Chains A and B, each alone.
Chain A
């Protein structure tokens, strides 16, 4: 049963990582346009640069 001492903290901290990731997506407003995001991935013109660099060409 010593294994519990390791496994329980490990599983809970993994869960917390997931929770933090969820907080991050909420903060980043990733649920604003679900339909658009689903379509964007299918675009043929792959955006090969980050949006911030686009205007500096």
Chain B
């Protein structure tokens, strides 16, 4: 994305340090071979791996290439003489898209480490569970006396160290909840594991008949499996999200004298002169020192049309420079820019969302105290019945704790979330927040932004068919060299109609006005009506010599699936509203076109947030879909939010889902999957409840043997996992 813009600019002779940003990331000594991380979105097969790896290895200066198909990435170990641009060009030549990633952003090794840690604990508990289970089978089938004691002792030797190692995540989480005087699901889990181990050890020492080592271990194993799935799902989402961020490598072109050098954005200070090439994003807030151009501000204001700027005008970080090169003097960098001031809003919203009470939390709030009370009741009742036999009463209490331990509950949510997120990821939708799916299922109103969300955010030529082919050919020739969205639209329309550009010479782009050149000895101009000498209006006009001016009209094209999505939402009975910063006329026409009845135009960013606040106060659960910085606050305040992948990072951070696919109908899919996931979670809770209703009385009257506990626990876990697979 914007890195491609910067790298284009960095190809100038003065920018020899263009790779600095990546070198900084690789952390290796800059003289040695370094690792370059690349995103390869189009690889999908064994052939692709071979082509990329072999093709790159054949080049000089490349030491090693390793393609990761799961993450659609490649790590290239290259000598410093090879630049990123060369590697990207080499991969493009092999027929694959490649984008360099900023390694510093990617090196979020924390979640990776956590996943490996959990997998290790899971492996150990799995090993121990199987061994102890084998020994237990012998005991259940009738081993007695010394043999039984020996088997119990061996089980203890395997089980106790495993519990200490593998169940740590539960102990830690339970402790942190208890410290603030709260109960979470991990409290009964920890208590059951610890009590079962201690009780079994006591029984083993006293040659008792029943030991629950296998139960303690299978509890640990099944619950760790749930925990691992949960972690995996989050880290996949996070890795894809950081990848999006890493594509926007934070660099700027700093002017020192007449030379421009590429520097990491972090090194830019207030007062620096920065060069912003046409097509690039403005890296920091500032005022224009030299040059005139047009800026695309749509992400900030929601306006589709570019704004003309000249010396002295203010520019904001994130705006896209369109026509002429600009030199800006920075007035704010990093955390002081408008872009970053929004981060605070996002943090606020995150805090609000973490207060959301998920289904699992609500279940735990009922479940945890109930389990403890039941076990205590069992202990007291049996103490009274047996006239003070502490050992027997404690045995029964432990059996109740083990039987009721939320094995199925621990798997109920993560298994469903994993399946649902996997399905959505295949559809091109990234689930960023753990409770996002549940919140999505509760939506009862949808609010859309216009520019860049329901529309592509780029104009298309509306009257291409009405323009003479000869005129369009000249216009296409003029437009070819320009980055202005309207120029691109003209060029695209010409190539769509199969019209080759005419032979126009002496092309010159006049920033803020248009493009001029000469065609068959006559001067031609394409641009603003006032500059060409035509009547003023919204259109762009072209005049060849003294001929009558030709008008070009533009509309912002709809994103694929927009109309279908709106009608699908209406069919589901969800009210749809359009909030846009654009002018009322445009918004009204647009709303009519896509079939939205309620709309508000000219809405300022603060007002968008106010609308969302008002809705929340009414008790509405709003799904907000938006891409602009002006939507960020609204996205953060909404019950649940979706941002398209084309949005800026700050906006994507605020959203719960990122839509990577171009088709908006995926949002309808997401709603369906979200509802289905919620249904499966509730069903799983139902399964767990039924299981408990049968198992608790049996445990309570003292009939739950370790064998019964093992069977019950496994079947309920398997039923819950299989039910999760039905999410679609």
Contacts and interface: CB of A to CB of B under 8 A. Distances in A.
Interface centre among B46, B54, B124, B154 (most CB of A within 10 A): B46
Interface in A20-57: 22-23, 26, 31-36, 39-40, 42-45, 51, 54-55
Interface residues of B, number: 27
B156 to A, nearest CB: 13
Given A35-B70, A36-B68, A36-B70, A26 B123 contact: yes
Interface in B57-98: 57, 63-64, 67-71
A10 interface: no
A35 B119 CA distance: 18
B691 interface: no
Given A15-B130, A26-B120, A39 B49 contact: yes
24 contacts: A11-B131, A11-B134, A15-B127, A18-B127, A19-B124, A22-B127, A23-B123, A26-B116, A26-B120, A31-B119, A33-B68, A33-B69, A33-B70, A33-B71, A36-B49, A36-B69, A36-B70, A40-B46, A40-B49, A42-B46, A43-B46, A43-B47, A45-B50, A55-B57
A35 B154 contact: no
Closest 7 CB pairs of A and B: A36-B69, A39-B46, A35-B70, A33-B68, A33-B70, A35-B69, A19-B127
A31 B70 CA distance: 10
A33 B70 CA distance: 5
Contacts of A6: none
A31 B49 CA distance: 17
Contact of B54 (A18, A31, A35, A45): A45
Contacts of B154: 8, 12
A24 to B, nearest CB: 11
A26 B119 contact: yes
Interface string B113-150: 00010011001100100110010000000000001001
B468 interface: no
A33 B71 CA distance: 7
Given A23-B120, A26-B119, A55 B127 contact: no
A54 B66 CA distance: 13
A21 to B, nearest CB: 10
B134 A55 contact: no
Interface in B148-188: 150, 154, 158
B45 interface: yes
Contacts of B124: 19
A35 B130 CA distance: 28
Nearest to B130: A15
Interface of A: 1, 4, 8, 11-12, 15, 18-19, 22-23, 26, 31-36, 39-40, 42-45, 51, 54-55
**Interface SS, B side:** helix
Given A15-B131, A34-B70, A43 B147 contact: no
Contacts of A8: 154
Contacts of B70: 32-36
A23 B49 CA distance: 27
B415 to A, nearest CB: 19
A51 B64 contact: yes
A7 to B, nearest CB: 11
Contacts of A12: 131, 154, 158
Contacts of A33: 68-71
Contacts, number: 58
A33 B123 CA distance: 18
Contacts of B47: 43
Nearest to A19: B127
Contacts of A55: 57, 63-64
A44 B147 CA distance: 56
B3 to A, nearest CB: 24
Contacts of A19: 123-124, 127
A50 B520 CA distance: 64
A11 B180 CA distance: 45
A18 to B, nearest CB: 7
Nearest to B122: A22
Interface string B15-55: 00000000000000000000000000000011101100010
A33 B50 CA distance: 15
A52 to B, nearest CB: 10
A40 B120 CA distance: 25
Contacts of A35: 69-70
A36 B64 CA distance: 17
A44 B63 CA distance: 23
A4 B46 contact: no
A54 B127 CA distance: 38
A10 B57 CA distance: 47
Contacts of B54: 45
B49 A4 contact: no
B123 A54 contact: no
Best-surrounded residue of A1, A15, A18, A39 (most CB of chain B within 10 A): A39
Contacts of A15: 127, 130-131
B69 A4 contact: no
Contact of A4 (B71, B127, B150): B150
Nearest to A43: B46
Interface in B400-453: none
B13 to A, nearest CB: 32
Contacts of B150: 4
Given A26-B123, A42-B46, 10 more contacts: A11-B131, A12-B154, A15-B131, A19-B123, A19-B127, A33-B71, A36-B49, A39-B69, A43-B46, A44-B50
Contacts of A4: 147, 150
A19 B165 CA distance: 14
Contacts of B119: 26, 31
B49 A43 contact: yes
A10 B154 CA distance: 13
A57 B537 CA distance: 68
A29 to B, nearest CB: 8
A19 B122 CA distance: 11
B693 to A, nearest CB: 37
B50 A43 contact: yes
A44 B71 CA distance: 22
A41 to B, nearest CB: 8
Contacts of B57: 54-55
Contacts of B68: 32-33, 36
A43 B386 CA distance: 70
A46 to B, nearest CB: 10
Contacts of A54: 57
A13 B240 CA distance: 41
A40 to B, nearest CB: 6
B50, B57, B130: residue with the most chain A Cβ atoms closer than 10 Å: B50
Contacts of B130: 15
Contacts of B120: 23, 26
